[in-house]
Each structure stands twice: as C-alpha cells, then as structure tokens.
C-alpha cells in the first residue's frame, strides 16, 4: 500500500463526555495512523439524553489532546452517515475501541451496516487497555449524578463540568 498518501482514520462516537478510555484509544490510533479525525455525532443533545452539546464535547476532547501533546488528531462534529463523514475526511478506515465481549454484538452489527453502505471503508478495532476496560460515559455520568468521584475516569475539565452540570 506504499505511495497512497497519508493514512487517515475516523474515530467516531458520542463522547458525552470523553473518558480516559476514549483518550487511550484515540492516542493509540494516533500512533498507528498518520492522521486521526475524532468524529462526534452531532444529534440534538436532548434527543438521545445527552448531557453536553456536541460543541462542548468537542472542546473537552481538544483540551485533553492539547494537554497530552497529541498533534495529529483533529476533532469534528458530524451530522451525516458515518461512512459519508469518513469519505469527507479522506479516511480509509473507521477505528473503534472494544472493551469487552458485551461490546462485540453491537459493534458487529454496526460493522455489517457500514460495510453494506460502503465496503471500501474498513473498520479497525483497538482493544481497551485493562486500566480502562470498565469505563463508559453512561457509568461516569451516573457516578457523578450520585455525587461520586470521577476524577480518575475523565480529564479534570470534564469532571469539573460534570459536577457543575449535575448539581442538584
């Protein structure tokens, strides 16, 4: 595959909010590929029960990447089909993180749908590091909602924002 130009991939997700587990996958993708575009699905925040707007979620990820010194990653909000967004970005693949077998069934279905829509866009999976395999955004939000400490699970600006947003 030499001589084909930079290898660009898309890391899609809701990122409501970004967790240390997401950042681990993004950072590892950034070491393997030339350029990573983090794609935040930009549906109406309330519709899917989202806590943060897509733009807020974008700022959290950009802040964390700057703190971690990751340079070949760009963050964009998308509101179309993932495969169309991947094409717009010039990406040849979608990169997703897999935590446990419980993720597999959902990801398998998404994989088949995306393949049906665009068989030239490959999907690639990075297995979660053991340190992060239990973290998901919904769990983080639930802990924060009940006043638990999430500072080890998400970047500091995110934990601060969660405390602020979920203040009763």
Residue with smaller CB distance to ligand PNS, 100 or 113: 113
By rule CB under 6 A, what count of residues binds ligand PNS? 9
Give the span between the Cα atoms of 128 and 22, in whole angstroms: 9
In the range 23-42, which residues lie near ligand PNS by CB under 6 A?
Answer: 41
Min separation Cβ 167 and ligand PNS, Å: 25
Yes or no: say if 58 and 18 are a contact pair by the CB < 8 Å rule: no
Measured over the CA atoms of residue 103, residue 28, residue 11 and residue 88, the dihedral's sign is negative
Min separation Cβ 103 and ligand PNS, Å: 9
Min separation Cβ 96 and ligand PNS, Å: 7
Give the span between the Cα atoms of 141 and 92, in whole angstroms: 33
* Coil vs helix vs strand at 126: strand
Is residue 114 involved in binding ligand PNS (CB under 6 A)?
Answer: yes
Is residue 113 involved in binding ligand PNS (CB under 6 A)?
Answer: yes
Is residue 66 involved in binding ligand PNS (CB under 6 A)?
Answer: no
Q: Which residues pair with 94 in a beta bridge?
A: 10, 123
């Amino acid at each position: 595959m030499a001589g084909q130009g930079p290898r660009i991939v898309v890391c899609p997700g809701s990122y409501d909010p970004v967790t240390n587990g997401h950042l681990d996958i993004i950072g590892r993708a950034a070491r393997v590929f030339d350029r990573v575009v983090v794609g935040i699905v930009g549906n109406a925040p309330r519709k899917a029960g989202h806590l943060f707007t897509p733009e807020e979620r974008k700022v959290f990820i950009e802040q964390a990447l700057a703190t971690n010194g990751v340079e070949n990653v760009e963050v964009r909000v998308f509101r179309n089909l993932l495969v169309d967004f991947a094409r717009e970005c010039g990406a040849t693949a979608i990169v997703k993180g897999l935590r446990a077998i419980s993720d597999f069934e959902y990801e398998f279905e998404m994989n088949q749908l995306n393949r049906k829509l665009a068989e030239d866009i490959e999907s690639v999976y990075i297995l979660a590091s053991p340190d992060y395999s239990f973290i998901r955004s919904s769990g983080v939000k639930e802990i924060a909602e009940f006043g638990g400490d999430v500072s080890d699970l998400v970047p500091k600006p995110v934990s601060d924002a969660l405390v602020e947003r979920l203040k009763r």
